[in-house]
Amino acid sequence: AQSVTQLGSHVSVSEGALVLLRCNYSSSVPPYLFWYVQYPNQGLQLLLKYTSAATLVKGINGFEAEFKKSETSFHLTKPSAHMSDAAEYFCAVSYSGNTPLVFGKGTRLSVIA
Amino acid sequence: DAGVIQSPRHEVTEMGQEVTLRCKLISGHNSLFWYRQTMMRGLELLIYFNNNVPIDDSGMPEDRFSAKMPNASFSTLKIQPSEPRDSAVYFCASSLSPANTGELFFGEGSRLTVL
């Protein structure tokens, strides 16, 4: 079954530091990959998505993710964390035309002043 | 664009009572998804519809749960009878296409507490 693994349920960084949130997917079949963000008491919103057009994907709020087939990874990064980035981040995957997204368990990002 | 609208935002009920959660899709979207979010299990897909037809309900926990799409823009998720373990945040999401290539638009969720 298709799945994604997010390493680390909680990541804490200082304001201005690099943000790195890890996501690995399971399959040799090229997937569609997504990162979503959830702010407190809100629904999820799309940060970025990979659909095979380019391996480096840029999203909103300065985030980007790189698809690495050899590592089956799609890690999310941001060069400089801002207090407003504190939220829960979800990686999601889908493999075929008629299967819905499967979400990872999420990583909560805390930003320390 | 009003976005996906869910109601109620919060529901507190007693064990055994019927609960109905409601969702209004974004106009023009043709796929509808119900997810449940808990600390222990994360985000779980309960059921999804395409063009008003239920495609996969394998995530529905048991017969106490049922979901319908009486028309193209509206859906309900019903729990009868409710149990404390049903306490969670329930999200509805819609999209223009099957979700693998399309963006999912989520509502703000319905937080259910069953006492």
CA distance B83 to chain A (A): 23
CB-CB neighbours of B50 under 10 Å: 19
pLDDT for the residue numbered B101: 63
| Range A15-23 average pLDDT | 97
What is the C-alpha to C-alpha distance for residues A70 and A19, in angstroms, rounded to an integer?
22
pLDDT for the residue numbered B96: 83
Token code pair at residue B47: 């059921």
Question: Per-residue confidence at A32, pLDDT binned at 50, 70, 90?
Answer: confident
Of the two residues B21 and A54, the one the predictor is more confident about is B21
Interchain CB distance below 8 Å, A103 and B43: yes
pLDDT for the residue numbered B2: 79
Among A49, A99, A103, beta carbon nearest to B103: A49
How far are the Cα atoms of A5, B50, B92 from residue B77, in angstroms, in the given order?
Answer: 29, 16, 9
Tell whether B4 is within 8 A of chain A (Cβ).
yes
Q: Is the pLDDT of residue B17 over 80?
A: yes
| Range B24-48 average pLDDT | 92
| Range B9-37 average pLDDT | 95
Interchain CB distance below 8 Å, A49 and B33: no
* pLDDT digit string, tens, across residues A55-98: 899 999 999 999 998 899 999 999 999 999 999 999 998 876 56
Question: Which residues from chain B sit within 8 angstroms of residue A94, using beta carbons?
Answer: 99-101
Interchain CB distance below 8 Å, A101 and B104: yes
| Range B35-63 average pLDDT | 91
Concatenating the DSSP letter of every residue in B6-38 gives: EE-SEEEE-TT--EEEEEEPPTT--EEEEEEEE
Tell whether B42 is within 8 A of chain A (Cβ).
yes
**Contacts (Cβ under 8 Å, ≥6 apart) of A32:** A49, A50, A51, A52, A93, A94, A95, B100, B101
| Range B54-66 average pLDDT | 92
Of the two residues B84 and A1, the one the predictor is more confident about is B84
How far are the Cα atoms of A98, B41, B113 from residue B13, in angstroms, in the given order?
Answer: 36, 22, 6
Question: Which residues from chain A sit within 8 angstroms of residue B57, using beta carbons?
Answer: none
Among B48, B55, B100, beta carbon nearest to A32: B100
* pLDDT digit string, tens, across residues B62-101: 899 999 999 999 999 999 999 999 999 999 999 887 655 6
Interchain CB distance below 8 Å, A106 and B42: yes
Short-list A104, A50, A26, A19, CA closest to B101: A50
